[in-house]
């Protein structure tokens, strides 16, 4: 399931947080935004420390360590097959970018 992967939650938490900020009163909107931002940062650091604990070579750009790949949209219309996959992955170059964006 795609919702068990940390990378998916790093994408979804800011969206959920933005909707929560819109739904809350102005007096606590900053605190709600802070909570969702902190949760996103904690998840990105969890990925970093999990890879560092496993002895991952952060200079390796060929092998994805933390990834999710699943079929998202798949249907056939006559002779045409339409397929979209949901694929996210972290390698040595993209991990610092994920942390900086969190």
Of residues 48 and 40, the one with the higher pLDDT is: 40
Beta bridge partners of 81: 76
Range of the domain at 56: 2-101
Q: Which of 75, 74, 55 is nearest to 65 (CA)?
A: 55
pLDDT digits (tens, 9 = 90+) for 51-76: 878 776 666 666 777 788 888 899 89
Sequence-ordered list of residues with C-beta below 8 angstroms from that of 7, at least 6 positions apart, any chain: 47, 66, 67, 68, 88, 89, 90, 98
| pTM score, whole prediction | 0.79
pLDDT band at 14 (very low <50, low <70, confident <90, very high): very high
- Number of structural domains (the chain) is 1
């Amino acid at each position: 399931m795609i919702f068990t992967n940390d990378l998916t939650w790093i994408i979804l938490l800011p969206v959920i947080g933005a909707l929560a900020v819109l739904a809350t009163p102005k007096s606590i909107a900053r605190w709600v935004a802070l909570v969702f931002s902190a949760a996103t940062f904690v998840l990105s650091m969890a990925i970093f420390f999990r890879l560092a604990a496993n002895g991952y070579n952060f200079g390796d750009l060929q092998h994805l360590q933390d990834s999710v790949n699943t079929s998202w949209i798949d249907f056939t219309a006559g002779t045409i097959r339409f397929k979209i996959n949901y694929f996210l992955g972290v390698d040595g170059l993209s991990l610092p970018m994920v942390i900086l964006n969190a």
